[in-house]
Structure 1
Amino acid sequence: MSIFERFLSVWVALAMVGGVLIGLAAPGLVQLVASAEVSSVNLVVAVLIWAMVYPMMVGVDFGSVAGVARQPRGLIVTLTVNWLIKPFTMAFLAVLFFDHVFAPWIEPDDAAQYTAGLILLGAAPCTAMVFVWSQLTKGDATYTLVQVSVNDLIMVVAFAPIVAFLLGVTDIQVPWQTLVLATVLYVVLPLIAGLITRHKLGSQEAVDAFSARVKPWSIMGLIATVVILFGLQGQTILAKPLVIVMIAVPILIQSYGIFALAYGAAFALKVPHRIAAPCAMIGTSNFFELAVAVAISLFGLNSGAALATVVGVLVEVPVMLSLVAFANRTRAQFPEPAPSVSENWNKERL
């Protein structure tokens, strides 16, 4: 691990501060970036996330996807945590804190808005950034792709009913254009580019060497994304610091709790680390584009629900980096490193 990667949390912290300062010093520039948006998907951020995801996609051996069925435990953990546990624990924590713990300091209407935003976050597991976290934990690229793809398919049919049930709203309008556009930008296009690159490189040795060369660009994309996200929300952070902290509390408890549950279940089931780490990361992080888009469509751009989803974005990167560090430190506690899905599948074909 290079010095740059070893101190990644330091660079991200500096990027957070730098983003807020840029937001204050150059609001025109921030507005220009914010205006580059289609269906609630910011195109500048999309390009940076694409750059982060692409290096891992180069490592995907599409011919070995069928081999995931031979190692189902990681996928079972992911689906159980994401769809049977996470949305409901997030709703419970939101109600606990905003209807009870923080009730003396927050108006009831605002509390209801923050609760709604957190529920939207909890019902939308990660689509794009999990590829970055998987890469940082040396995750199995092929298995991670399948986990994300299955989650996306379930999200199409399960997101609206779960949100409607938890919010008590029956007319949830899922922004399908946002869902499809984000999936194409963050999964389909990087995957196609990665497969083309892999084909042109030929050997696995050439693929590994190429991935090593482009990995720094992935990290730089992450830092640039943090700068932009905090730049876009700099005014809000400084104007409502106490509210930001209050919203962050249940998100932090949820994030670390869900990770502990999924990571612990994977450990108990003897899932290899290269599968266990990404399967825990998917449920811990969120599909924030979808959550923000639905919050805006239901409650308005300046609503407390929209603010809560944005706080989820701000909290996610530092939280996930801390979990990446923990996962890497605990790698030796898992079963002996098993061959990746691609390696197993290729051996069996031979």
Structure 2
Amino acid sequence: MTSTEPTPARAQSADAAGDDSIVKKLSTLDRYLAVWILLAMAVGLGLGRLVPGMDDALAKVEIGGISLPIALGLLVMMYPVLAKVRYDRLDRVTGDKKLMVSSLVINWAVGPAVMFALAWIFLPDLPEYRTGLIIVGLARCIAMVVIWNDLACGDREAAAVLVALNSVFQVVAFGLLGWFYLDLLPRWMNLGDGQGLDVSVWYIAMNVVVFLGIPLLAGFLTRRIGEQKLGRTGYEARFLPTVGPWALYGLLFTIVILFALQGQTITSRPLDVARIALPLLVYFAVMFFGTFLLGKAVGLAYDRTATLAFTAAGNNFELAIAVAIATFGVTSGQALSGVVGPLIEVPVLIGLVYVALAWRRRFTADAVTTAP
């Protein structure tokens, strides 16, 4: 029987209950999820490198600049997770001022500033790659973060709210922050001539609608109709286990397609990829661990702290790549930086899922220690 929860979640539950038999009952997909993700990346890179014209063929399957294969994978990936959200509990999240304010500040003030600083520190002599990294920092995550959050046993309702909040700010603030970090600030700091970022607000809005609006609406309607027909207990016990594994299938499919699209580019420029990867590694570490410590410091529970950390560390790679290609060209250094983003983000964040689950025990232990 296929497990309905990802490996880390089940493993953590088994640890908390002291029952290793649960781990032994996991499906092969669940137990070795990290391995399958790395294999999916390798398969994608291999296909892009070895199959002539595959990257070009996949790139042509798009509408309005949005890749249909990637969109399909992301929709399949996000729908099961958003169908699990209990939408009648969202008001409990929006009333958490610590969480909401922390998320806005970290995502839209701290995150872009950290990436801007790291890009200039590590790539002062490579302006194209530097610009590409800054664009990655501006594109806050609205899609794949729901998977990392679910794997780490984060708060699903909080993830839905914070992702929606990021979406609104992405439409409003992406172009403005692009002008600030790529044009105004470099000139003001005498770092050289700035670079403009020509991106339509409507394009960003369409990106948000496709990658968040569709699966969010589908998840909401599924939950509402499902509970009306089966009741909450029946819906969660009978329907969710059926659709749950498709989140991981969609994730693996997305990774294969994404890396097949860019396999030739990545494998043909390994030294450039390494230069771009270093500041990205530092960025993910700073954003995740810094945010996790902040959540603990302000008194958030583990589940919301994990959600806050993953929404801060993740980025909207699809938007970053699309904007870089549209503005600077498909063969530009800016586009390569966007491509390297998920190459580093995917394995790093799956690793951080396990780190978060290890810290979950510490949160529980601290709560027991401080309880009256």
On whether the aligned pair clears a TM of 0.5, the verdict is: yes
Q: Is the aligned partner of 1:163 residue 2:191?
A: no
Distance 1:332 1:273 in 2: 9
The answer to which of 179-188 and 243-252 deviates more is 179-188
Q: Once the 2 structures are TM-superposed, how far is the Cα of residue 319 of structure 1 from its aligned partner?
A: 1.2
Contact 2:55 2:260 in 1 (8 A): yes
Question: Is 1:223 matched with 2:252?
Answer: yes
Cα displacement string for residues 215-236 of structure 1 (whole angstroms, at most 9, x for unaligned residues): 2211111111111112111111
Question: Which residue matches 2:218?
Answer: 193
Residue 260 of structure 1 corresponds to 289
TM score, norm. by length of structure 2 = 0.83
Q: Give the alignment partner of residue 128 of structure 2, picking from 71, 96, 113.
A: 113
Residue matched to 1:280: 309
Q: Give the aligned length.
A: 328
Measured after TM superposition, the shift of residue 89 of structure 1 is 1.2
Q: Give the alignment's TM-score, normalised by structure 1.
A: 0.88
Paired residues of 1:271 and 1:335 also in contact (CA < 8 A): no
Range 132-141 or range 318-327, more displaced: 132-141
1:136-157 Cα deviation digits (max 9, x unpaired):
1222222211111111212222
What CA deviation, in whole Å up to 9, does each residue of 1:51-71 have, x standing for no partner?
111111112233332222332
Report the equivalent of 2:122.
97
CA deviation after TM superposition for structure 1 residue 250, in Å: 0.2
Is residue 244 of structure 1 aligned with residue 273 of structure 2? yes
Q: CA deviation at 1:20?
A: 1.7
Q: Which of structure 1's runs of 4+ aligned residues deviate more than 3 A?
A: 169-172, 335-338
Distance in 1 of aligned mates of 2:58 and 2:196:
32
Specify every segment of 5 or more residues in structure 2 that has no aligned partner in the other structure, as ranges: 1-9, 11-25, 184-193, 368-372
Which residue of 1 is the match for residue 236 of structure 2?
A: 208
1:232 to 261, 269, 275: 261
**Contact 2:94–2:161 under 8 Å retained in 1:** no
> Residue by residue, what CA displacement relative to the aligned partner does 1:211-266 show, whole Å, maximum 9, x if unpaired?
22222211111111111112111111221011101101001100111001111101
Are the aligned partners of 1:272 and 1:335 in contact in 2 as well (CA < 8 Å)?
no
Aligned counterparts of 2:195 and 2:152: Cα–Cα separation in 1: 40
Q: Residues of 2 paired with 1:83 and 1:336: CA distance?
A: 32
Residue 67 (structure 1) aligned to one of 49, 72, 92:
92
- Tell me, in whole angstroms, the C-alpha distance in 1 between the residues paired with 2:354 and 2:71: 25
- Provide the C-alpha distance between the structure 2 equivalents of 1:260 and 1:166, rounded to a whole number of angstroms: 24
CA distance in 1, matches of 2:300, 2:226: 31
* AA in 2 matched with 1:138: C
1:233 aligned counterpart, secondary structure: helix
CA RMSD of aligned residues (A): 2.0
Aligned-pair identity in percent equals: 35
- Contact 1:273/1:337 (CA < 8 Å) preserved in 2? no
Which ranges of structure 1 fall in alignment gaps of 5 or more residues?
A: 100-107, 339-350
Q: Distance in 2 between matches of 1:54 and 1:69?
A: 22
Deviation of 1:171 after TM superposition, in Å, equals 5.0
**Aligned counterparts, 1:30-49, within 5 A:** 30-49=55-74
The answer to whether the 8 A contact 2:78-2:146 is kept is: yes
User: What is residue 125 of structure 1 aligned with on the other side?
Assistant: 140
Deviation (angstroms), 1:44 = 0.8
Q: 2:154 aligns to what SS in structure 1? A: coil
State the alpha-carbon separation in 1 of the partners of residues 288 and 223 from structure 2: 32
> Aligned partners of 1:95 and 1:189: how far apart in 2?
37
Query: What CA distance in whole angstroms lies between the structure 2 residues aligned with 1:316 and 1:170?
Result: 25
- 1:121 to partner: Cα distance: 0.7
Q: Give, as a single letter, the amino acid of the residue that structure 2 aligns with 1:63.
A: D
